[in-house]
Chain A
Amino acid sequence: MSQLPGTLLDGLIRGLAYVGIALGLTIVFGMLRLVNFAHGAFYMIGAYVGLVVTEHLGLPLGLIAAPIAVAIFAVILDFALLRRFYDRNPTAQILITFGIAIVVQESLRLIFTGTTRSYAIPFWLKSSFNLGFTQYPTYRMIFALGIVVLIFAVWFFIERTNYGLIVRAGIRDRTMVQLLGGNVRQASTVIFALGGAIAGLVGAGASPIYNVDPNTGFYFLVPSFVVIVIGGLGSFWGAVAGGLLVGELQSLTTLISAPASDIVIYVAMAIVLMVRPSGLFGESELIRG
């Protein structure tokens, strides 16, 4: 049982990483009704851009460069390809974003090879911090705080700003917002870029903990989908609750059987989908894709 506090903390950190990725996924789905299988690719671009910048200019600049790079990439992708898929059925959206994910992942594999890379972070960040009941890596604590700040920043943006108002109204009824003069198209692009930027920031922020290789995007993408399905597709606090739940579930399962931690989230998702398809916090009318 002496492992328990550390395991719970690991679960919290992992869960917060999922929340960070799922936030972008859920606001993009909410606003654009776009099911984005390429979201994991955004995480990975952020992770690799962060890696290169951190090596040369240090971690703080890495954390700034990553979201900017991903936002630019997201805007280009949106203009070049994805716009045409906003109004298509979810199947077409899954297919095109799945294809984009493969292209990004394989491009990164060609550039950076398939080996696992770790970040060059300052020594003091690698040290441990005494929490009283356990020693815990300092960087992980800072990462957790950063994600919490991020969650509230996104919440503030959506709930308290005028732009957020357009976004929320757009979630309810795109056409009506357009008729009232709201620029939904522009808002869509901004939201898509924002969702990407968040994923990129989390990618750069999480990689000092989890390292990065070309498959990382997928390993984080699928749990993030699980997170928003469990929480309820399109639900903000559902994504937060779902992320923490999934992170802890995975982490606690390692105490019993390490390999089973890979599978437990799928079992959880299957149960939620079969019992309550709209998720724990979702609206039941959304389930028909």
Chain B
Amino acid sequence: MKDWQFYALTALGLVLLPFVIHPIGGYPALATQILLLGIGAIGFNLLLGYAGLLSYGQAMFYGVGAYVALLTVSRFFPQVHSIWLGILLAVVFVGVMALLIGMLTVRLYGIYFALLTLAFAQMFFFIVFQWRSLTRGDDGLQGITAPPLTFGPWSLDLTQRLPDLNLGIFGNLHDVTYWYPFSAVVVLGVLAFVRTLTRSQYGEILAAIRENEERSTFVGFDSKSYRIAAFTIAGVLTGLSGALKGLFDTSIAVDSLDVETSGSFVIYAVVGGVKTLFGPLLGTAIIQYLQNVISGNQHFGEAWRLIEGVIFVAVIAFWPKGLLGSIPQPSEFAYQPRFRPSDSLPEAKPMTEGIILETKGLSKFFGAFGANSDIDFKVRAGELRAVIGPNGAGKTTFFNVLSGLRSASAGTIYFKGRDITRMPGPQRVASGIAKAFQTASIYPDESVFENVRLAALARVQGMFAPEFLRRSGRLQQVDDIAHDALEQLDLSNVATTRAGSLSHGDKKRLDIAVALATQPELLLLDEPVAGMSIDEIHKTDRLIRALAKRMTVLIIEHDMDLVMGISDSITVLHQGKVLAEGTPAEIRANRLVQEAYLGGHVADAVPSSAPPAAPHTEANP
């Protein structure tokens, strides 16, 4: 949808809403109520739909927003005759609150996140309930007249009615107060903001983090910051919803902070459709309208909450994407990258001289089990080093500790002479360590090009870039790095294919290309050819040799032909310790290594020139 179409259609819908619901039993105040609650639902959708976080505590932002707005206009600044101050203070207060709570909660997932947000909401409920001198506790705040809407010298009482104009079955314009047009303008602004946000570079990265957080972290995005930002923005929108609703109702009850309110935002967004722009608003409209019609009915009035529950369960069970989300959306997959070979590709960084990576006494324990113990390890810049060893030798753990996926239990890691032992993963990527995973870790629902482009974006934009409004996909430098990475791994011909539908071998090479697009100086490859066909292995062999000319490569591999053929040197791990180190020829001749692989029985029948037997398809969980 083009921008002008979006604005025109949305504005038209908003103008018509209070009148189209008239013949089916709605009334103008209901339309206002739908819009104001809808703002909170839109904010919640940002969390659940776009960030993948199910919060059961939105009521705290809604309720606190309302209390702050009403207290501002009635107690703190009653002399200010403008509605703006109340709204502004509410939004700022809730924004700070959401930022702080977000910092404490976003590192948790699923049930833990839901329960922790619920816990915070209950605490705020308690504070509001107990702080009687300010909030009047159980009685809530009532009868607070909202000050007028002002623009400079001009001011307007929002409770005033529009001019008399009979619209037949659609009611009368006179039934509508100025609250409605005001709410409609705010909602239009909120929708435009959220639409821009979800299409911005920030929105794109947030979606990538939701799709594959591990990969996002190891292309160098600080996923926590992205989620905190989403949590804060969602909180602010929910706070705005509460502030406006409170001013509109001229009252707020302490119940507005309870679990039922949090749950209602969940219901609105899920019924209408998360991950859609208008879904939450539609869900709010449907539920609010039905509640109004049904709970007023003398026969089934009491059953309203039951009916709401049944609707909710039915939607989740039969239309898990919600009502709007179930309508097939035009795929945005047609994105054709503009590729023009350009000179904007950054110069390859000069290789660090001497030792690029060193570990001293590096150990990793899982409980009492030492997966890595006391590993001293040095790699020269430009080297292609293989790390081999029988299954369970601790190779993958070693890589995980190097990349920052797991923290070291003891010992030190130096990268380019700097101690990086305590450095978080994304920062290590930024400083030049990239990793391809044993099981290809990619964004399955994005195109191949988009996969590498995200990694290049992390390289160019850094760990966190608050680009909330600017659309991405316009950075030539990012595109160039991405194309270069695809070229290196011979994937350019599938650039527009959906990554999830690639063959196994292509997925593994895409994973390497993603790592490569972060422009590393040290590349960690965990079993790059595992499960590949012979042809693919030969191809990947060539590609890795080419990569090794540009950077230092560490490779874990069970394919001994490959290892012996490409490595400058080899480190053998056995039971978490370094067993041997040397050139391929030395390792091949080493009796200790043969024993480790053959289980202690050194058969004289194994000619010293033959590589130790190790099947290609060996898995290493």
Instruction: Let me know if A91 and B118 touch, CB within 8 A.
Output: no
Q: Are A99 and B309 touching (Cβ within 8 A)? A: yes
Least CB separation from A269: chain B residue = B119
Tell me, in angstroms, the Cα distance from A94 to B56 when the chains sit together.
Answer: 10
**Residue among B48, B126, B129, B259 facing the most chain A CB atoms (10 A cut-off):** B126
Q: Which residues of B contact A263 (CB under 8 A)?
A: 122-123, 126
Whether B52 sits at the interface, judged by CB under 8 Å, is: yes
Residue of B nearest to A233 (CB): B111
Chain B residues, CB < 8 A from A90: 109-111
Stretch at the interface among B312-320, B417-425, B599-607: B312-320
CB atoms of B309 and A273 under 8 A apart: no
Known: A95-B270, A218-B259. A103 touches B306 (CB 8 A): yes
Within 8 A of A (CB), among B80-128: 104, 107-116, 118-120, 122-123, 126
| Contacting pair A95 B112 (CB below 8 A) | no
Residue of chain A at shortest CB distance from B311:
A99
Could you say which of B52, B108, B119, B263 contacts A277, with CB atoms under 8 Å apart?
Answer: B108
The residue of chain A having its C-beta at the shortest distance from the C-beta of B313 within the complex is A99
Q: Cβ of B306: which chain A residues have Cβ within 8 Å of it?
A: 102-103, 106-107, 109-110
Most chain A CB within 10 A, of B52, B109, B120, B129, is at: B109
Q: What's the nearest-Cβ distance from chain A to residue B241, in Å?
A: 21
- Closest residue of A by beta carbon distance from B314: A99
**A148 vs B114: C-alpha distance when bound (angstroms):** 31
Closest CB of chain B to A79's CB: distance in Å?
A: 13
> Is the CB–CB distance between A273 and B116 below 8 Å?
yes
B313 touching A100, Cβ below 8 Å: yes
> Helix, strand, loop or mixed for chain A's interface?
helix
Q: Does A134 contact B (CB under 8 A)?
A: no
Q: For residues 254 through 281 of chain A, which have their beta carbon under 8 Å from a beta carbon of chain B?
A: 259-260, 262-263, 266-267, 269-270, 273-274, 277
A222–B262 Cα distance when bound, in Å, is 14
Q: How far is the CA of A288 from the CA of B111 in the complex (A)?
A: 9
A-B contact number at CB 8 A: 113
- Determine if A138 is an interface residue (Cβ-Cβ < 8 Å): no
CB neighbours (8 Å) of B129 from chain A are: 259
For chain A, the bracket of interface size reads 35 or more
- Residues of A near B303 (CB, < 8 A) are 106, 110
Report chain A residues within 8 Å CB of B113: 289
Contact between A277 and B120 (Cβ–Cβ < 8 Å)? Answer: no
Question: Cβ of A92 and Cβ of B320 under 8 Å apart?
Answer: yes
B326 within 8 A of A: no
- The answer to whether A91 touches B310 (Cβ under 8 A) is no
- Which residues from B are CB-within-8-Å of A262? 122, 126
Interface presence of B302 (CB below 8 A): yes
Within 8 Å by CB of B118, from A81, A96, A222, A260, lies A222
Beta-carbon contact of B115 and A91 below 8 Å:
no
Please tell me which one of the listed residues A91, A218, A259, A269 contacts residue B126 in the complex, with CB atoms under 8 A apart. Answer: A259
Contact for A102 among B48, B122, B305, CB less than 8 A = B305
Q: Residues on B close to A: CB < 8 A?
A: 48, 52, 54, 104, 107-116, 118-120, 122-123, 126, 129-130, 259, 263, 266, 270, 302-303, 305-306, 308-310, 312-313, 316-317, 320
3 A-B pairs closest in CB distance: A289-B110, A102-B309, A90-B110
Binding site for B on A (CB under 8 A): 35, 81, 84, 89-92, 94-96, 98-100, 102-103, 105-107, 109-110, 218, 222, 225-226, 229, 233, 259-260, 262-263, 266-267, 269-270, 273-274, 277, 287-289
11 inter-chain pairs at a CB distance below 8 angstroms, sorted by A residue, are: A35-B111, A91-B48, A95-B266, A98-B263, A103-B309, A106-B306, A259-B129, A266-B119, A270-B119, A287-B109, A289-B112
Given contacts A102-B313, A225-B115, A263-B122, 5 further A-B contacts (CB under 8 A): A81-B317, A89-B110, A94-B114, A95-B316, A103-B313
